[in-house]
Amino acid sequence: MDIVFEPESSDPMIQSESESNYRLLFQHMLDGYAYCRMVFDENGKPQDFIYINVNDAFEKHTGLKKETVIGKMVTEVIPDLKEQNPEIIQIYGNAVITGKPIEFETFIKPLEIWLRISVYTPVKDHFVAVFENITQRKLAEEKILLGEFRLRSLVNILQHDSVSTQDFLDHALDEAIKLTASKIGYIYFYNAERQEFVLNTWSKGAMEECTIQEKQTVYQLNKTGIWGEVVRQNKPIVVNDFQAPNHLKKGYPDGHVKLFKFLTVPIHKDDRVVAVAAVANKATDYTETDILQLTLLLDSVWKRVEAKKIEEALIASETRYRRLFETAKDGILILDSLNGKIVDVNPYLIEILGYPKEDFLNKAIWDLGFFKDIVSNKAKFEELQRHRYVHYEDLPLKAAQGQTIDVEFVSNVYEVDRQKVIQCNIRNITERKQAELALQKLNMELEDRVQERTQELQTTNERLIAQIDLVKRAEDELRSLSRRLVEAQEDERRVISMELHDEIGQHLTVLKMMLDTMLRNPEIIKQTDLKRASEQVSNVIAQVRNISMQLHPSMLEVLGLESTLRALFERLHATAGMDIEFRGGVNDAWLDRDTRLGIYRIVQEALTNMMRYSGVKTAQVKLKDCDNHISIIVKDEGKGFDLALLSPGKSAGISGMRERVRTLGGIFIMESSPGKGTSISVEIPFSEKSS
């Protein structure tokens, strides 16, 4: 298509001493170009503008065809522009009125594109708009910001000093709500076998709004409404108008928090749904981006110890200012295709490389050392002529000051008056590469932090497992002790029953027979009969006292601990032939009732075990008052045994002694080895020591 000229004011791009050269430059430039005339109202305010001329890039960037634009007002071409982007006409009008160039970025709502625009006025009431479509860059920036926000959320979650899994998930839910700009949210666990949801947590905002008195926490899948579709369909569910009728909804009870917009996603483990999370009441509609961000965040949260794979979505930041040649923010070279000599160079390329203009003009491109990696000899230059297009994504250029600049290089070959001309566009991508390196560094730092946190969690888990094992062993030992104590209690009852029957019962029977005889023949009662009856009564009393001492040594309250122990030693000597070497030295006033009884039972049980298993008839018992506790030592020099072969809970006597010491807040130590006897050491703190 030929360039259209306005009769009263020619396009400044076309008015040039080298009109044909710049005509092709105009048509092949990367930026969109529009030459327009401003339309003012009777008060001199800008109201509209007319397109006089546009280039091919204008059509590429906007999607508007030249033939539908040139010669028409913008309000005809884009009817909604004045209502949706009123600032456009105002900015262009200000540039025309003031004569000052203006640069700005804006989102053209009717066309749904982002543009970076440079506008200046070449002649009265006219302006030139040179623009770059930055929609992809804006989308990339948005993705980068969302990615950074998600990374910050993940770091915040992993660094959160959680006291429990519940606290961890509460914090993760708060981060998910912030990430999606929502107001409320929840997490439910899901059991696939029972097809049952169990509430894990509602956000604080939801609990504040909810006024239901008896809140339900367990739901069956078949009784859920639209929020259960996340499991039934096994995919995220979005409802951006929750108040609208929907056949999948089953309603919610009075007092439930009101929902307006709703997003829920499944959380998977081994391809099975194990939980669902939801956020709600965002100010704008939930999008695929929200679904993606929420899914990625919660997947990382659920796995917790796995490093979050961060999607590297950094798109290169391109040079922002590109005007037509002198105003372009890309470097531009114009070459003679016949000899490869540089015809012109724009100020931006001079600025970034730091070489004067004279070092470029009338020199072949392969003679310039800083372009040696692009066209190092004439043969490569001729190859460029044949292909008519060359694109290098990443090339280093050496600037005058010695620094290296990374550039993107694009060249086009086109014809001007049947002669080939080469236009080279050079874009500085140094900052983009630096940003990529910075992002790589950020990813490495994040991975290091995740690994550190994972190691901490692993160590804590190992400690917890060890504690659980200790508790389990203690529980097993306690259960065994309880069982053995019950058995011992039954044995004791059986012994008492036999003693009552065999000893006391026989004595009482004999006594009754003697008394019956006396009652039948009172006139012949003899002194010897009364004496024998009295002896029977004494025997019964002695038996009852012996049983009483076995059940509870009442002497403890009357005579004290040491006297009661001595009585025990005498009884063991009389009944079993045991010789006890005893050394005491404890003030009873320092011991309460439970402590005295506990010490008595510990000594009694220790001696009983020694009588049964040591194989000797001698033992030593020592009581000593220390600064803040009483020390008890019971030892023998008998057979002894290997402690390693003693199964936990298998000895009721030892378990009973250990449990008594534990309940008194003391320390129990037993030492033994084959052939070297057994020693039991106990330390019990004083409950209250008299001054």
Of residues 417, 462, 368, 475, the one with CA closest to residue 18? 417
Confidence band, pLDDT 50/70/90 cuts, at residue 688: low
Indicate the DSSP class of residue 504.
I
Q: What is the per-residue pLDDT for 504?
A: 66
Backbone dihedral angles phi then psi of residue 88, each to the nearest 5 degrees: -60, -55
For the structural domain made of 19-134, what CATH number should be given? 3.30.450.20
Each residue's pLDDT tens digit, 182-223 = 888 888 889 989 999 988 878 887 767 766 667 778 889 888
Confidence band, pLDDT 50/70/90 cuts, at residue 463: confident
- The CATH class of the 330-428 domain is alpha beta
Decide: 630 and 623 in contact? Cβ < 8 Å.
yes
User: Would you state the CATH architecture of domain 140-303?
Assistant: 2-Layer Sandwich (3.30)
Each residue's pLDDT tens digit, 508-560 = 766 777 777 777 777 777 777 777 777 767 777 766 666 655 555 667 777 78
- Which of the four CATH numbers 3.50.50.60, 3.40.640.10, 3.40.50.720, 3.30.565.10 does domain 556-685 have? 3.30.565.10
Helix ranges, 417-499 (H): 430-499
- 466 Cβ neighbours under 8 A, 6+ residues apart: none
User: What is the rounded average pLDDT of the residues 298-324?
Assistant: 45
> In 574-688, which ranges are E strands?
579-583, 618-625, 629-636, 667-672, 678-685
Of residues 152, 168, 149, the one with CA closest to residue 160? 168
Q: What is the mean pLDDT of the chain?
A: 76
Distance CA 38, CA 46 (A): 7
Q: What is the per-residue pLDDT for 160?
A: 53
User: What is the rounded average pLDDT of the residues 81-102?
Assistant: 92
Q: What is the per-residue pLDDT for 479?
A: 65
The reply to whether 556-685 shares the fold of 330-428 is: no
Q: What is the per-residue pLDDT for 315?
A: 29
Residue given tokens 């209250």 in the structure block: 688
Question: Strand pairing partners for 410?
Answer: 391, 425
Distance CA 473, CA 340 (A): 88
DSSP letters, 411-432, are: EEEEEETTEEEEEEEEEE-HHH
| Domain boundary assignment for the chain | 19-134, 140-303, 330-428, 433-524, 556-685
Q: What is the per-residue pLDDT for 656?
A: 79
